[in-house]
Amino acid sequence: MNKILHIILISLFSLTVISCAKKDESTSSSSSSGTTTDNTTTTDNTTTLSAPSGVSAKLGYYQVAVDWTAVSGASSYTVYWGSSTGITSSSTAITGITDDNYTHSSLDNGTTYYYKVATVNSAGTGSLSSEYSATPRAAYTVAEACSAVSLTETPGGTWTGMKDDTITSGQFFSLYRSSEFNGCTDNSTYLTDSGVAAHLPSGTIGVSTIITMTSNTSFTKTNHWYAGANCTKETGFFATGYDNVSFGDNITIAGQPCTNCSTTQVPYATKVTYTEEQFCLLAENEAAKSFHLSEMDATVTVGTPLAVAGEGTAKAAIMVNLDNVTGAITYTNTFFTFFSHDNSTAPDNWTTATNSATVMYSIDNVSNQ
């Protein structure tokens, strides 16, 4: 009998302990679903979140960069936009943005765009921010981008001393066969050639190389790159400013005209020396930025020109300007130049390679190519 009573008491004690344990677990579970436990606040996302603060819209080239301050608890953001003021939740929306910024591209330069931003969580889209606007800018001219080193593509000055010709305010454009005489080379066969493509930013479908006389003793040479048809949507450029131009001896080039070449080379030229004084680089996209880094070892910021003073390095070339010269090819205002391989001594010929010379055409009165 005592044994039976003892067993009953032990069983009752065990049930009491188990019951107390379950009560404690229940209490703990109830506490964890509350708003405060050990000074910790939890959010159940049952309400939408407030609009982001710190919103800004910054102009770019064919684009606008919209930034804001991140909102705690946000799963994404929606940017509402349009080309007229009064943006609402019914305006065109860009959804699913998970960063605290968005670059709106493929816009029209000169058009003002308006923006509002809203925060999104599981409860839905919250209220809209204040309205902000920006106007994508037009492409920089060389003069605008390179004012720090006084580079320009505005012609000026007079060059005398070149054989058979004096050039006043000359500007010459490099063209490739089948290119239109507008300074734009967009021939896909030429631009995709491995030897050419290796020296262009990725995605380039048009180029323009320009030599501009800027004074009696200076000139600017600029390589422009484009991502749009007919040399539109410039992606960047590399400009070099030269000074201390001095014309030397006129030379006759043996073996010219070339009877076995696809084009006839010019049988004479003038030796020219000058100094390399300034550089100016511009990248309007990441491809041009990467190109400047790989080809020029220059770190640039997209949309911000980089102007660098040169060291006055001595350069040399042979040059000739042909005006109304008729032969196998008729040349009118055609400028030939060939830069020396060693950079300081002018060469004695156009070399045996037919296309070694840089042939630059004046846009005015070009009669043939």
Mean pLDDT, rounded, for 196-211? 91
pLDDT for residue 124: 96
Q: Which of 134, 166, 195 is the last residue of a domain?
A: 134
Report the chain's mean pLDDT, rounded to a whole number. 79
- Would the pLDDT of 16 be above 90? no
pLDDT tens per residue, range 137-188? 888 899 999 988 889 999 999 998 887 778 888 888 887 654 555 688 888 8
Residues 61 and 176 in one domain: no
Q: Say whether both 267 and 130 belong to one domain.
A: no
Beginning with the edge strand found earlier in the chain, give each strand of the sheet holding 56-59 in spatial order. 56-59, 64-67, 101-104
Helices and strands (H, E) in the chain, number of each type: 5, 18
* Domain match, 278 and 206 both: yes
Give the model's pLDDT for residue 182: 65
pLDDT category at 6 given cuts 50, 70, 90 is very low
Same domain, 127 and 167: no
| Cα angle: 122, vertex 128, 133; to 5 degrees | 135
Q: Domain end: 111, 134, 157, which one?
A: 134
pLDDT of residue 223: 93
Mean pLDDT of 231-240: 92
Statement: residue 209 has pLDDT above 60: yes
Quick check: bond before 257 cis, omega within 30?
A: yes
Name the domain count of the chain: 2
Same domain assignment for residues 191 and 324:
yes
275 contacts 315 by C-beta, under 8 angstroms: yes
Residue 94 lies in a domain: yes
Tell me what pLDDT residue 186 has.
87
- Dihedral over Cα of 265, 269, 271, 276: its sign: negative
Of 287, 268, 176, the C-alpha closest to 226 is 287
User: In this structure, what token pair is assigned to residue 81?
Assistant: 């936009």
Give the pLDDT score at 14.
41
pLDDT bin (cut points 50, 70, 90) of residue 17 is very low
**CA–CA separation, 185 vs 193, rounded Å?**
13
pLDDT confidence tier of residue 230, bands split at 50, 70 and 90 = confident
Asked if the structure places residue 265 within a domain, the reply is yes
For 20, list phi and psi in degrees, rounded to 5.
Answer: -65, -40
Q: Hey, how many other C-beta atoms are within 10 angstroms of the C-beta on 228?
A: 13
First to last CA, the chain: 125
CA pair distance 271, 246, nearest whole angstrom: 9
Q: Report pTM.
A: 0.71
Closest CA to 40 of 49, 31, 48: 31
One domain for residues 192 and 289: yes
Q: Are residues 214 and 269 in the same domain?
A: yes
| Mean pLDDT (whole number) for 93-119 | 95
What are residue 67's phi and psi, to 5 degrees? -125, 155
Residues 303 and 251 in one domain: yes
Looking at residue 316, what is its pLDDT?
A: 87
Structural domain range at position 235: 142-361
Same domain, 164 and 96: no
Query: In a 3-state reduction of DSSP, which class is residue 284?
Result: coil
Regarding whether 336 and 292 lie in a shared domain, the answer is yes
Please give the residue that has the higher pLDDT: either 254 or 134.
134
Q: Name the domain boundary from 80, 99, 134.
A: 134
The pLDDT-based confidence of 356 (bands split at 50, 70, 90) is low
Better pLDDT: 100 or 317: 100
CA-wise closest residue to 68 among 80, 57, 79, 54: 54
State how far the Cα of 269 lies from the Cα of 223, in Å rounded to an integer: 24
Q: Give the model's pLDDT for residue 29.
A: 31
- Inside any domain, residue 184: yes
Q: What is the pLDDT of residues 293-306, one digit of tens each?
A: 998 899 999 889 99
Quote the pLDDT of residue 289.
95
Same-domain status, 128 and 168: no
28: Cβ contacts below 8 Å, ≥ 6 apart: none
- Say which residue, 115 or 148, is predicted with more confidence: 115
Retrieve residue 22's tokens.
Answer: 């379950």
Same domain (yes/no): 68, 158: no
User: Looking at residue 62, which CATH number applies to its domain?
Assistant: 2.60.40.10
**In degrees rounded to 5, what are phi and psi of residue 319?**
-135, 155
* Residue range 327-338, pLDDT digits in tens: 555 555 677 777
**Neighbouring-strand partners of residue 97:** 77
